[in-house]
Amino acid sequence: MDHEALSAEVEKHHSWVEALKNEMARVLVGQAELVDRLVIGLLTNGHILLEGVPGLAKTLAIKSLAGCMKADFARLQFTPDLLPADLLGTMIYSPESGEFSAKLGPVFSNLILADEINRAPAKVQSALLEAMQERQVTIGDTTYPLPDPFLVLATQNPIDQEGTYTLPEAQLDRFLVKVTVDYPSKQEELTILDRMATSGKVAATKQVVDTETVSKSRDIVNQIYIDPAVREYIVELVHNTRNPSGVDPSLVPLIRAGASPRATINLALAAKARAFTQGRAFVTPQDVKDLAPDVLRHRILPSYEAEAEEISTDTIVERILQKTIVP
């Protein structure tokens, strides 16, 4: 498809994005970046991790997104006593037939809200890992495909909160982006007070998009153009997380391990999706710069020295972005 035809397709099919954002804004106050990342996750079929202290509307944002879509939705409250079977399903024995049959778990939905995902132990995280990466689940001797789309939208409290487990690096790498949810501004909090300080129910969102529309948009996103110079910029950014000596030698002792090639793929995919949401058929370097912190922050392992000096991965990514030449 040539550029003009692709631009026309983007213009024709991206209007639902604004409708979805407007509908979510009826429930959410502020959090424009969070909503933008949720839409990008939809368009790339990528899982999203939201991190922030309790009470910042992480769960509400995901439930609002599900309410805007004609799709199956399941909420899973992760707890220390959760078992893999509670998530995936199990084999049930029937005395009448003398046979076992599979009872599929709540993971067989289009949108999964994994609430407080870092409160579940390692065996549950391992069970979720196959579902996230392979988009299939094995129960007994049989493998069952998960529905399309299948997105895990997970929330977690900061690791220093009591009663949490550190997510394994392999699982963190499966998340397209990790979004840090911050406190609202004073004005936003006044709006929240006016809107939410009631014992009644919070306003519900209306369905404005279906899975077929999202799937069609995803096909268009895959065709969005990335200039060779922008592609090299993406690769250079990720490469500099592994070998920072070329851009900032002071970062060398602060990084234990850099981002994997999956970060390169996901940064390109997310940048394409962002271009689509803004009605463009091409990726700009600014798309890459804006999304790099969310794609890279959970894929860089800081060294013990960085942790001792309280230098976050966000600071490391920011310094790499400042020193990497933009095309």
CATH of the domain at 74: 3.40.50.300
Are 36 and 160 in a shared domain? Answer: yes
Q: Is residue 322 part of a domain?
A: yes
Last-in-domain residue among 152, 171, 192: 192
Are 234 and 167 in a shared domain? Answer: no
pLDDT of residue 77: 87
Q: Is residue 293 part of a domain?
A: yes
Whether residue 227 is predicted with pLDDT greater than 90 in this model: the reply is yes
Place of tokens 């500099």: 240
Contact (CB, 8 A) for 245 and 103: no
Are 174 and 303 in a shared domain? Answer: no
Q: Is residue 313 part of a domain?
A: yes
CA 309 to CA 60: how far, in whole Å? 35
Are 281 and 147 in a shared domain? Answer: no
pLDDT in tens, 40-53: 998 998 899 988 87
Q: Is residue 7 part of a domain?
A: no
The arithmetic mean of pLDDT across residues 21-42, rounded, is: 86
Q: Is residue 199 part of a domain?
A: no
Whether residue 111 is predicted with pLDDT greater than 90 in this model: the reply is no
Beta bridge partners of 92: 101
Are 156 and 249 in a shared domain? Answer: no
How far apart, in Å, do the first and last CA atoms of the chain sit? Answer: 25
Are 126 and 270 in a shared domain? Answer: no
The arithmetic mean of pLDDT across residues 295-309, rounded, is: 89
Mean pLDDT of all residues belonging to the chain: 85
Domain that holds residue 231: 224-327
Q: Is residue 100 part of a domain?
A: no
Tell me, yes or no, if the pTM score tops 0.75: yes
Domain total for the chain? 2
**pLDDT grade for 221, boundaries at 50, 70 and 90:** very high
The arithmetic mean of pLDDT across residues 109-114, rounded, is: 86
The arithmetic mean of pLDDT across residues 265-280, rounded, is: 94
- For residue 278, give the CATH number of its domain: 1.10.8.80
Q: Which two tokens stand for residue 59?
A: 């769960």
